[in-house]
Amino acid sequence: MLIEQEKGCWIKFDVTVGKETVERPHGLRYSLTLHNEYGIRLMGFDNAHLVKPPKKFKYSGRIIPFDHVHRHASDKGTPYEFKDAYQLLTDFFKRVDQILNQL
């Protein structure tokens, strides 16, 4: 699904409901992204791959959910604590509004 935004930007949603797994305990595989007029991703929330947690956390031997956020175009991802779909959408659109206001 594509949703046009102001300033030539657009949002893309890819969401699939599947089996609950250790990596995706909520059963959702998702990618919510904001793009500029040239198609460059400005920001996104997804769970397509594992993101290495910050070194200040001790995750040795633990399985970490794949949920994460790419805060800007070059961000490789920061862990995101998924609570539910409503909170995910709230957090995503809050960040979209912040970015559009900065442009």
Q: Which two tokens stand for residue 15?
A: 């969401």
Q: Compute φ and ψ for 99, nearest 5 degrees.
A: -70, -45
Q: What is the reported pTM?
A: 0.83
DSSP state of 6: G
Q: What is the pLDDT of residue 63?
A: 53
Q: What is the pLDDT of residue 57?
A: 56
The widest CA-to-CA distance across the chain, in whole angstroms, is: 45
Average pLDDT, the chain: 88
Long-range contacts of 80-87 (CB under 8 A, 24+ apart): 80/45, 82/26, 82/47, 84/26, 85/26, 85/28
With bands split at pLDDT 50, 70 and 90, how would you rate the model's confidence at 64? low
Contact 33, 46 (CB under 8 A): yes
Q: What is the pLDDT of residue 56?
A: 59
